[in-house]
Amino acid sequence: MPHRPLARALTALVALLTAAVGALAVPGVAQAAAPIHYVALGDSYSSGVGAGPYDLSTCLRSQKSYAPLWAAANNVASFRFPACGGAKTADVLDDQLGALSATTTMVTITIGGNDAGFADVMTDCRFGSTSTCTNAVNAAKAFATGTLPARLDSTYAAIRERAPNARLIVLGYPRLFETRYCGLLAMSTYKRTILNEAADVLATVTADRAAAAGATFADTRPTFAGHGVCGAQPWIRDVTGVIEAYHPNAD
């Protein structure tokens, strides 16, 4: 029998992406579904950092990432997986677009968090003072609203150019924390709250630029709600995960 939280999580994530893809058949018309040639681009939230085990590359790709799980569940005609932990928009443009072609029919991507300084912000908030955390979060939010939109626009446009026949699905990032009390060693409620607020800003910016590019935005926040760090059944790793910290676990 499958582990129940894992089964629920996989069902939710597959349903989320399936809803984003949408039905291929026209109601009332019998037709064969077109083959799906799927390419998964992006950063650690697409490569599967936190889920493990990983391939032998430096990208920390896991077969428990949503991308290979969805590809296997939907019997795609082809699947390419260049997503890489630590990637920024420039890395997608320089290193990942070669997986795309005119035959690609579906592309998914998570990107932008590392451009906004995800790792440094989390380090400042976990180990720094309240003021250090606040300053880091405010700087990340300013970057997300001021500089990131143009970078996302360029990235989505380049994907369109390399894969003109593909549906582009942009996945957002979840909120990382629940804000209830969870022990003396946890980040303060205030820090967790402003980090979640920063995640909301990033989601808003990403959704807006995805819409401008004619892409579908898949908001992961509702799926992860209640399962952040400090939740009863967390799906996000805490700081003990070291390089996996604040990434989705296998569940």
Query: Hey, which residues are catalytic here?
Result: 44, 247
CA 70/CA 148 separation, integer angstroms: 28
Question: Within a 10 A sphere around the Cβ of 185, how many other Cβ atoms?
Answer: 7
Question: Within a 10 A sphere around the Cβ of 119, how many other Cβ atoms?
Answer: 14
**106 close to 37: Cβ distance less than 8 angstroms:** yes
| Nearest residue to 236 via CA among 63, 112, 191, 225 | 225
Q: Angle at CA 159, nearest 5°, toward 83 and 154?
A: 100
CA 50/CA 61 separation, integer angstroms: 10
Q: Provide the residue type at 227 as one letter.
A: H
The set of residues, in sequence order, having a beta carbon less than 8 Å from that of 145 and lying 6+ positions away, is 201, 205
The two tokens of residue 224 are: 């992860």
> Which H or E run includes 168?
strand 167-171
CA 201/CA 213 separation, integer angstroms: 19
CA end-to-end span of the chain, whole Å?
Answer: 15
